[in-house]
Every structure is written in structure tokens, then in C-alpha cells.
Amino acid sequence: MRLTRAVKNDPKVALLQGIPGLSGLPPAELTSLASLFDEACLDAGAVLAHEGEPGRELFLIVEGEAVVSLRGDALATVGAGEFVGEMTLFERVPRSATVTALTPVRVLVAGAGSFGTLLAHPVVLRRLATTLAQRLRAAQGSPDSWSETYAPSAVA
């Protein structure tokens, strides 16, 4: 009973429940994941990640939109349910792009120390892998219809 009550009162758990791919997790797993994140709210124009700088955290966008740019050129817009900043934690190299809030954004932030623990959660690992695969397809110019046709929700 106490765990359920704590889950209902934990705002980070409530935010995770609204993320596609995470919403169906049991309360105990959501509570475990929530403990790995800090919550932050940023104004439009705030920079989450600077291209070329070392990165020590990843962001899970909960609300709002941000633009990903490389050398000043916009590459993509990201929004609720999407991770940004994870590549630097996988490779331990400087950030490959700049991420700037287009609107006020609410994010969950996980530092490098939490990254390994996050990867131990299969649903998070799958979500990160899916994000990276979608970005690779976009960079290669693969048709958008492939992602829609063969998305995990479309495949049993």
C-alpha cells in the first residue's frame, strides 16, 4: 500500500507514466526509473546541449519542443517522449549537436552516473535504441513511411 501511495505522489513517476513505451510499466519499475532522474523546466531559447562540449547527462523531454542543430543548421525538432544527449554518454565524446528549447520544456535529466542503471532497464534500452535507429534512418534519407509501417506498435 505504501509503495502505491508513494507512486501516486511522486511527480516524476507521473511524468514517466505519460511517456509512450514507459506508460505500461509496473509502479515499482516506474519508481525505480524515477529515482534516476531529476526534473527541470527550461524557458524557450534555453540550450540543453552545446555542440562540441563534453556531455554528462541525457534528457527525456516530457513537455515542449526543442530543435537539434549542427553548425547552426536545424536538423530536427524533438518533443515529448524523446531522448536527447544520450550519444555522448554512449561514446564518451563531445556533443555532436546543439539542442535548444523552441518552447518552454519540461525534461527529466539523468547524469552519467545513472546511465548504466538506465540501460539495465530493457524498456529504456529499447527506447534509446529505437531513437537512435530513427535518427539514422532520417540521416540516410529512408522514407518516413517505413517507420510508420514497421513501427514497434505495428508489429506484434
- Give tens-digit pLDDT for 10-31: 788 988 888 877 878 888 888 8
Please tell me the distance from the alpha carbon of residue 72 to that of residue 91, in angstroms, as a whole number: 23
Residue pLDDT, tens place only, 122-155: 888 887 887 788 777 877 776 665 555 555 444 3
Kindly state the percentage of the chain with pLDDT values over 90. 33
| Whether the model pTM is above 0.85 | no
More confident residue, 126 or 95: 95
Whether residue 74 is contained in a domain is answered as: yes
What per-residue confidence (pLDDT) applies to 134? 77
Whether residue 86 is contained in a domain is answered as: yes
- Residue 96 is part of which domain span? 38-139
Whether residue 29 is contained in a domain is answered as: no
Whether residue 146 is contained in a domain is answered as: no
**Sequence-separated (6 or more) residues with CB below 8 Å from residue 129:** none
More confident residue, 152 or 75: 75
What per-residue confidence (pLDDT) applies to 51? 94
Please tell me the distance from the alpha carbon of residue 22 to that of residue 34, in angstroms, as a whole number: 11
**pLDDT at residue 70 is higher than 70:** yes
Whether residue 16 is contained in a domain is answered as: no
Counted domains in the chain: 1
Confirm if 55 and 99 have CB atoms less than 8 A apart.
no
**pLDDT at residue 4 is higher than 50:** no
Whether residue 147 is contained in a domain is answered as: no
Whether residue 14 is contained in a domain is answered as: no
Give the domain CATH number at 74: 2.60.120.10
Whether residue 127 is contained in a domain is answered as: yes
